[in-house]
Amino acid sequence: MMTIIGIDPGLGGAIAILNDAVTVHPTPVIVERLEKSIRRHHDEPAMRDLLCGLDDPVAYVEEVHSMGGQGVRSMFTFGTGYGLWRGLLVGLGIPYTLVPPRTWQRLMFSGTPRTDPKAASLLVVKRLFPAASLRRTEAARTDDHGMADALLIAEYGRRTLAAGGSA
């Protein structure tokens, strides 16, 4: 059976895996505690481990760009995650397609009010995958829109492939 992967590449993003089950994992991070702050970094080996051993995988990665008004460090970290996911996919021989947010959202949000894309993602995922857990941790009290986005990107990929598209 083909495995479809959806990736929201931000540090606060996630990876969703659709095969005979539905699983969503937050982007693996390492937390560095500094004197007066906390810094999060991508956990590259854990990211790789999420991609290894999947049966006949294809991936869909949200195509991201820098946005005005964002901090330099924030954008650098965002771009690092984007590059890490793409590099891991290439290194593991997993074919992937870059999907602009508006493209996957147009299909997945069809018939849903889109005034707030974060709320729309959560609403659509709850309709399509009511049993899916969107909590980043066991202690989290709220669902995470990054995890919802990754799952919707994977579902976009599944629908694209079913309609005869390619990865």
CATH (domain of 41): 3.30.420.10
Instruction: Report whether pLDDT(43) > 80.
Output: yes
Q: Give the pLDDT of residue 134.
A: 92
Q: pLDDT digits over 55-81, tens only?
A: 999 999 999 765 566 655 555 566 688
Does any domain span residue 93? yes
Tell me the two tokens of residue 95: 């074919």
Does any domain span residue 143? yes
Residue partners of 142: CB distance under 8 A and separation at least 6? 135
Q: By residue range, what is the domain housing residue 150?
A: 3-162
Does any domain span residue 117? yes
- How far is Cα 84 from Cα 109, in angstroms, rounded to an integer? 28
**Residue 96 near residue 63 (C-beta atoms within 8 A):** no
Instruction: Report whether pLDDT(16) > 80.
Output: yes
* Count of domains forming the chain: 1
Average pLDDT on 50-55 reads: 95
Does any domain span residue 167? no
Does any domain span residue 36? yes
Q: pLDDT digits over 115-159, tens only?
A: 788 889 999 999 999 999 999 888 888 889 999 999 999 999 999
Q: Give the pLDDT of residue 68.
A: 61
The H or E element spanning position 8 is strand 3-8
Does any domain span residue 90? yes
